[in-house]
Amino acid sequence: MTTPPVDADPLPLYLRPNDHFLLHFADSRQLFCQAIPKSRSKSKTIPPCKINKRTYSTHNLIGMPYGTVLEVGKDALIPLPEGEDLLPGDEGVWEALDELESEAPTNGAEMNATSADSTKHITPNDNRNIIDNNTSQTLTQQQVNAMTSTTEGSQIVAALISNSATFSSKTAFSQAKYIKRKQMKHQLRCRIVRITPETLCTAMHLKDSRRMCNLRSDTLGYILSSANVSAGQRVLVMDTAVQGIITAAVTRRMGGYGSVFALFEGQQQPGYLEVVQRMNFNVMERQASLPIALKWVMLGEVFADEVAKKAQLEKLKDENGNVVDVEKRDREAIEWPCPLMPHTMNYLLNEVKDEKKIKQFLDKRSARFTRKLTRLSMLETRERIDSCKEREDEGEANAQMEEAGVDQSAMVNDNDNTPASIPQSIENRHDGVEFSQCDSIIVATKYDPTITILRLLPYLAPSCPFIIFHEFLEPLLETFRTLQNGGASDNEQSDMPMMCRRNIAINLRLTDTWFREYQVLEGRTHPNMHMSQNGGYLLMGTKLCPRTGTNEMDAETVKMLRAKLGPTRRPKKGGDKRKYDSEEQKEAKKVKS
């Protein structure tokens, strides 16, 4: 792992050259743009920034802080002073309206007649007499289009108000909505927003939610938290259904430390690589982290036949023909103590003033790296398991199966005592593959999730989480039942004896998220009228050791823990009336049986 330079800031406050950013408009539109220098503004490979069928240059935005409000002019994006909002205030509209009324010619007799008529027909402002017959506005569309090329936006809005026959009779709320609607059309403003996983997911969801299987930003955050994505991990991602958003979010969350293995289909790298590039990885991350942290893996390497897998294992052997423990080699290459990232150091020095919080943060970081440095590789774990003695109750289980007349050759594999009905894909046999023993697996695909997760589980380390995202609930229900049955279908599970059933995952949860945006105004607080119905469904779980099916501890370790901790159940209030057999009594019962 490389140490980043101190001056490299992964999250700058200002817009840099060639950075991607978002433009947020008042009408909830979001547009992807890139800060192109003037020397590259005429490049045909870079798409221009188009707003309302007009092309605008972005070289004048370089150096602007994020959050700057821009006014869309005729030929350029004009930065506004600090404090301006997307919707301009009503003061300019009313001032322009007063100017129009003062400049309009008036006649004394007509004014008196108008005032006399107005006193006869006094109606409350409650919209009861307003009829939508498209005759209330006296200005035509041609006149409004002619004003847009020569007149400011506030003057156009004032002209529309003065020429509206029903504006004065509307309620205060209706007048405010009318002004807001006209300002969004004729006084167009936008704000520069940094591209983060949340803003990226929200913008793509607004653009076309069906292409990304209705993945919302709240669901994306839930996926990252459930998968325990953090710096220094090895994450296997298969997001062929959500346009690469999960890959970009995982890469950003890891901050350049660790490895991300992104599965893709086809012979070339996926077309959604542009989504990852929109995260604006700085020069340090492009040169040092991306070749290490983000690796593209073809689906054929995972779903290929056994011959191709063995051929791949041959490449990872040394000169003597021994298999190289890649994970152990990578673990020994970790530098410790590992220096802090620049933005983390700035956060601890400038923003966190409590020494206890700083100490807690450093302790958690040290504990995380300690787990990574002391974790056994898959080859080391297999050697320990193979060297352990056979269980004492294994002979009893075989005797019971012989008495029941069960064909053991059809149910048990001679090599690892794994039920033969469980697919071979769940056995962790890919020792030499470089992306084995991952810390978490994230799947978001339109393929069958059951087959996909059974193929990917061998590349997940025991006691590590996996999470599956799907647009519909029914495929995940089948996957849930299959994982509960140990990788076998319902019919195969019913024919299998209880002693041969092994779990491959625990803590299975099938859930969805609920996200609703509210409008909070005085007397007008309610949910938004237009909102998404569903953000997809999630299936989460934790992988068990494929050998034991329950945990990774041997029998001696379990006995030592039980001797130290005592009985796991709490005694009742009246006292513990249960009788615990001694070792001699247990042996006597075994002899009698």
pLDDT in tens, 253-282: 888 788 888 888 776 667 677 888 888 876
Whether 158 maps to a domain, the answer reads no
Q: Which residues contact 378 (CB under 8 A, 6 or more apart)?
A: 327, 428, 431, 436, 437, 461
Q: What are phi and psi of 190, to 5 degrees?
A: -145, 165
Average pLDDT over residues 369-374: 69
Alpha-carbon distance of 215 to 446, in angstroms, equals 13
Whether 420 maps to a domain, the answer reads no
Question: Strand 258-264 to strand 233-238: parallel, antiparallel, or no bridges (unpaired)?
Answer: parallel
User: In the numeric block, which tokens belong to residue 124?
Assistant: 């409350």
Indicate if 530 and 564 belong to the same structural domain. no
Is 302 within 8 Å of 263 (Cβ atoms)? yes
Number of domains comprising the chain: 2
Domain CATH number, residue 537: 3.40.50.150
Stretch among 405-419, 451-465, 523-537 having the lowest mean pLDDT: 405-419
pLDDT at res. 416 = 39
Indicate if 371 and 468 belong to the same structural domain. yes
Stretch among 178-187, 414-423, 520-529 having the lowest mean pLDDT: 414-423
Whether 79 maps to a domain, the answer reads no
pLDDT digits (tens, 9 = 90+) for 13-58: 889 888 899 999 988 889 999 888 887 766 666 777 888 888 888 8
User: Residue 20: in which H helix or E strand, if any?
Assistant: strand 20-25
pLDDT at res. 322 = 67
Indicate if 260 and 289 belong to the same structural domain. yes
193 SS3 class: strand
pLDDT at res. 430 = 37
Alpha-carbon distance of 458 to 424, in angstroms, equals 10
Q: Which residues contact 530 (CB under 8 A, 6 or more apart)?
A: none
User: Residue 517: in which H helix or E strand, if any?
Assistant: none
pLDDT digits (tens, 9 = 90+) for 239-255: 888 888 999 999 888 88
Whether 31 maps to a domain, the answer reads no
Indicate if 505 and 441 belong to the same structural domain. yes
Indicate if 449 and 581 belong to the same structural domain. no
pLDDT digits (tens, 9 = 90+) for 140-194: 888 888 887 777 777 888 888 888 888 877 887 788 888 888 888 888 889 999 9
What string of H, E and C letters represents the secondary structure of 518-537?
EECCCCCCEECCCCCCCCCE
Find the domain containing 434 and state its range. Answer: 224-386+425-543
Indicate if 472 and 562 belong to the same structural domain. no
Whether 281 maps to a domain, the answer reads yes
Q: Residue 549: is its pLDDT beyond 90?
A: no
pLDDT at res. 409 = 45
Whether 538 maps to a domain, the answer reads yes
Please compute, for residue 563, the number of CA atoms within 13 A of its CA located in the half-sphere on the CB side: 8
Note the maximum CA span of the chain.
122
pLDDT at res. 419 = 31
Indicate if 374 and 504 belong to the same structural domain. yes
Give the pLDDT band (50/70/90) at residue 420.
Answer: very low
Whether 16 maps to a domain, the answer reads no
Question: Strand 20-25 to strand 189-193: parallel, antiparallel, or no bridges (unpaired)?
Answer: antiparallel
Q: What are phi and psi of 257, to 5 degrees?
A: -110, 125
Is 191 within 8 Å of 70 (Cβ atoms)? yes
Indicate if 459 and 574 belong to the same structural domain. no
Indicate if 236 and 288 belong to the same structural domain. yes
Whether 379 maps to a domain, the answer reads yes
Q: How far, in Å, are 16, 121, 517 from residue 12 at the CA level? A: 8, 62, 29
Alpha-carbon distance of 497 to 350, in angstroms, equals 62
Check: pTM over 0.85? Answer yes or no.
Answer: no
Burial class (CB in 10 A: 0-12, 13-18, 19+), 473: middle
Indicate if 459 and 348 belong to the same structural domain. yes
User: In the numeric block, which tokens belong to residue 86?
Assistant: 């997307």
Is 194 within 8 Å of 30 (Cβ atoms)? no
Alpha-carbon distance of 374 to 73, in angstroms, equals 60
Q: Which residues contact 528 (CB under 8 A, 6 or more apart)?
A: 516, 517, 518, 519
Alpha-carbon distance of 263 to 238, in angstroms, equals 5
Give the pLDDT band (50/70/90) at residue 566.
Answer: low
Stretch among 28-42, 222-236, 242-256, 451-465 having the lowest mean pLDDT: 28-42
Is 447 within 8 Å of 456 (Cβ atoms)? no
Rg over alpha carbons for the chain, rounded to the nearest Å, is 33
A 10 A CB-CB count for 259 gives: 20
Indicate if 534 and 588 belong to the same structural domain. no
Is 496 within 8 Å of 411 (Cβ atoms)? yes
Q: Which residues contact 317 (CB under 8 A, 6 or more apart)?
A: 323, 324, 432
pLDDT at res. 496 = 45
Indicate if 569 and 463 belong to the same structural domain. no
User: In the numeric block, which tokens belong to residue 142?
Assistant: 């041609």
Q: Which residues contact 52 (CB under 8 A, 6 or more apart)?
A: 72, 188
- Token pair 């009698």 is found at 592
Instruction: Single out the residue of 74, 210, 187, 63 nearest to residue 533, CA to CA.
Output: 210
Instruction: Single out the residue of 282, 274, 287 nearest to residue 12, CA to CA.
Output: 282
**Torsion of Cα atoms, 224 then 226 then 230 then 235, to 10°:** -80
Instruction: Single out the residue of 206, 253, 210, 270 nearest to residue 32, CA to CA.
Output: 206
| Whole-number average pLDDT of the chain | 73
Q: Residue 456: is its pLDDT beyond 80?
A: yes
Residue 142 one-letter amino acid: Q
Give the pLDDT band (50/70/90) at residue 200.
Answer: very high
pLDDT at res. 488 = 65
